[in-house]
Structure 1
Amino acid sequence: MTTTVTADLAITLDGYVAGPNVTLDNPGGDGGEPIFAWIHTLASWRERQGMTGGVENRDSELLREWFDATGAVVMGRMMYDTGEEFWGEDPPFRTPVFVLTNRPRPALVKKGGTTFTFVTDGIHSALEQAKTAAGDRNVDIAGGADTVRQYLGAGLIDELQLHVVPTLLGAGLRLFEGPGAVRRDLEPVRVVHTPLATHLKYRLGQ
């Protein structure tokens, strides 16, 4: 059985996944709200947050497809730290989550099937643990940008899905620059255009 390793991110037309000045109190960065605001109205996203209602459309279907296919998640410590308070006791992952860190701490068991395991021995170890936990489902490299770049640079991501939001930010945190932003061949798998975003799915060559 081969596990598919994915990365799925919202991104602006000019390549930013967050605005400038990302901090624990400002996880989207200055002016970064349009990158994520479109997701918050979707029924599939609201279901994951334990809420009702929301819009059922193609965007919601694509998000639900990603949720349902994911059996484990890998993220960086910054993403965990910026999301911990917001997620609370019932995080939206519903799967094991492996957090890359150099600050060890005991595993955390939350409601809804989410567990956080803190991995101190690198990206390969975190991925192998995630693959074991995922079973026959995918492992998603959730972020942030530096974590995704590390896995891209190591050739460990099989599929990349970008939700390109029709906005220009002009500054902030870019996904495809700095260490790990190496040349890769991408095979287009799917393009879905909606008024909210253009959803681009690629398979990565090795």
Structure 2
Amino acid sequence: MSLVRVQNFSVSLDGFATGEGQTLQAPFGHAGERLHDWMFATRWGRAMLGRTGGSGGVDDAFARQFADGIGAEIMGAGKFGPPGWQDDPEWKGPWGSNPPFHTPVFVLTHRPRPSVEREGGTTFHFLDASPAEALATAREAAGGRDVRLGGGPTMLRDFLAAGLVDHLHVVVVPLVLGRGVRLWDGLEALERDYDVESTSSPGGVTHVTFTRRAV
């Protein structure tokens, strides 16, 4: 069976995956882009922005795993747009005409709308569903390939609490946000179900991977 994966998910030292005060101009609130500077400094990240250069090494190797073997993505409403996007029938996400997913993407929202097809193979579908129901739908669309959980942190907590995540890659960034939305709340002893490894990077971040233990 295909795996359920989280890739390149950044958190601060105090566990926040997004800051407070999210808007269209500041999708990560007061955190800005600081949680993701490590990724966009890599060769892979700069290529995603249409630029050349960037660093290789550990950070680049982890960043490149984002798309390998992925057949569909599930994301929360907060990743698809800032608060209130459901009230704008013309909103199609913040990624422009050619989003970086290139697969079916299932957006979890209590206010579904018709699917939105974009360039490059990305089609956004909107579901009001439980984690298990959404995963069943995404797995069917993925055609045997893996399903990526794209966040945000509230949605990831729900999938982790339901025991649906096979591989979790968290990047701990050396900054303290103090406020926002935390990833780990309510997930006490999560590590018992996983083999946990950490890899430090010369760039200052730590890559922590959780791989589900075989039953």
Q: TM-score range by the shorter chain?
A: 0.7 to 0.9
Alignment size in residue pairs? 202
The answer as to whether partners of 1:99 and 1:126 remain within 8 angstroms in 2 is no
**Secondary structure of the residue that 1:45 maps to in structure 2?**
helix
Runs of at least 5 residues in structure 2 that lack an aligned partner in the other structure = 83-90
TM-score (norm 2): 0.84
Q: Does 1:7 align with 2:15?
A: no
Show CA shifts across 1:79-135 (max 9, x none): 111395530110011111101111121111111111111112332221111112223
Alignment of 1:40-59 (within 5 A): 40-49=40-49, 51-57=50-56, 58-59=58-59
Runs of at least 5 residues in structure 1 that lack an aligned partner in the other structure = none
Q: Among the aligned pairs, what percent are the same residue? A: 36
Report the Cα offset of residue 198 of structure 1.
Answer: 0.9
- Which residue matches 2:183? 175
Runs (4+) off by over 4 Å? none
Q: Does 1:191 align with 2:211?
A: no
CA distance in 2 between counterparts of 1:99 and 1:172 reads 21
- Which residue matches 1:88? 96
CA distance in 1 between counterparts of 2:28 and 2:66 reads 21
TM-score (norm 1): 0.88
Moved more, 158-167 or 130-139: 130-139
CA distance in 1 between counterparts of 2:31 and 2:106 reads 29
CA distance in 2 between counterparts of 1:154 and 1:24 reads 30
CA distance in 1 between counterparts of 2:188 and 2:74 reads 21
